């Protein structure tokens, strides 16, 4: 069993609301110069869930479930940044107003730039939402440490989720982590260079169909745990040979140059003290029985 500092972490309440769908213009141009006018980020998405494919949707940067935010008018405010930072993957979310008051969900992803937190709810709850709800997140996880693995940094990760990820500590402080895919750092795009791995995401670029096919990227699903190889996210997102970062697929593919499925950082080791092990079922929805794999 992992030795975690969970009893010393601060659990704090943060509140949010539905972030309405956004549109940035009449057409967005893809990497081949073609224009598209399609759904994009935000809102209550009824039919795209954690566990579904991150590819093939008639949309761009689609966010599964409910996209919530503290203040959609002041996305870069300190209050909104705190909401986005403190919330962690796996945290419990409770609806505190509206027809579905009292229902609970799970944080399944984060999307930087728009500063959205993505939440999975049961279908019957989604069908009750009116868009004016308030949400309480019991934010817990930032500052998490693994005693046996001092060179592995944790971000955006609820301790209870880490315990369920079937990780193993190997000699030398190496953490073995099941992943659904390994992604070379060379194809990481939008979000690369951002100094804060404790918020948002960065994108796997998918503009080269040969690379997409060779790496099997179209098999990626929302909620998949992936290893970004030669990527150091300990104090920002950059290339570093030998480093390994574990992340989770948060939003869908994109046709925009330099973009693609977004991954949110969970674990990172500059010194390569993470050993990813391929496991096709390494997915948040399967692990927690939510989204497309909900059992109740």
The Cα–Cα gap between 63 and 235 comes to 26
Domains defined for the chain, CATH in brackets: 6-139 (2.40.10.170), 153-293 (2.102.30.10)
The predicted-structure confidence for 40-78, as pLDDT tens digits, reads as follows 999 999 999 999 999 999 999 999 999 999 999 999 999
| pTM of the complete model | 0.97
Averaged pLDDT score across all residues of the chain = 97
- Mean pLDDT of all residues in 178-201: 97
Question: Whose CA is closest to 111, among 39, 184, 61, 180?
Answer: 61
The Cα–Cα gap between 257 and 169 comes to 39
Question: Whose CA is closest to 227, among 160, 289, 152, 286?
Answer: 152
The predicted-structure confidence for 21-43, as pLDDT tens digits, reads as follows 999 888 999 999 999 999 999 99
What b/e readout covers 232-247, taking b as 16+ CB neighbours within 10 angstroms?
A: bbbeebbebeebbbbb
The Cα–Cα gap between 216 and 195 comes to 29
What percent of the chain is modeled with pLDDT above 90? 97
Strands 225-232 and 181-184: parallel
């Amino acid at each position: 069993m992992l030795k975690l500092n969970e009893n010393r972490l601060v659990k704090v309440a943060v509140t949010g609301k539905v972030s309405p769908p956004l549109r940035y213009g009449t057409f967005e141009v893809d990497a081949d110069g073609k224009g598209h006018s399609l759904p994009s980020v935000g809102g209550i998405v009824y039919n795209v869930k954690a566990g579904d494919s991150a590819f093939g949707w008639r949309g761009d940067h689609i966010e599964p479930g409910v996209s919530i935010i503290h203040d959609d008018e002041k996305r870069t405010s300190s209050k909104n940044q705190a909401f986005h930072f403190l919330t962690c993957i796996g945290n419990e979310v409770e609806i505190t107003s509206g027809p579905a008051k009292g229902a609970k969900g799970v944080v399944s992803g984060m999307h930087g730039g728009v500063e959205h937190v993505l939440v999975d709810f049961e279908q019957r709850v989604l069908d009750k939402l009116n868009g004016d709800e308030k949400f309480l997140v019991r934010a817990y996880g930032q500052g998490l440490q693994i005693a046996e693995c001092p060179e592995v940094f944790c971000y955006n990760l609820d301790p209870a989720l880490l315990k369920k990820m079937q990780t193993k500590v190997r000699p030398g402080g190496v953490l073995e982590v099941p992943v659904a895919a390994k992604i070379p750092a060379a194809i990481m795009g939008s979000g690369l260079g951002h100094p804060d791995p404790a918020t948002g995401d960065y994108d796997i670029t998918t503009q080269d169909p040969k690379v997409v096919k060779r790496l099997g990227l179209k098999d990626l699903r929302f909620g998949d745990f992936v290893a970004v190889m030669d990527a150091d996210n300990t104090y920002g997102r950059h290339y570093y040979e030998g480093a390994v970062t574990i992340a989770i697929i948060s939003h869908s593919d994109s046709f925009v140059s330099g973009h693609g499925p977004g991954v949110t950082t969970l674990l990172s080791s500059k010194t390569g003290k993470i050993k990813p092990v391929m496991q096709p079922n390494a997915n948040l929805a399967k692990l927690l029985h939510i989204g497309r794999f909900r059992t109740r």
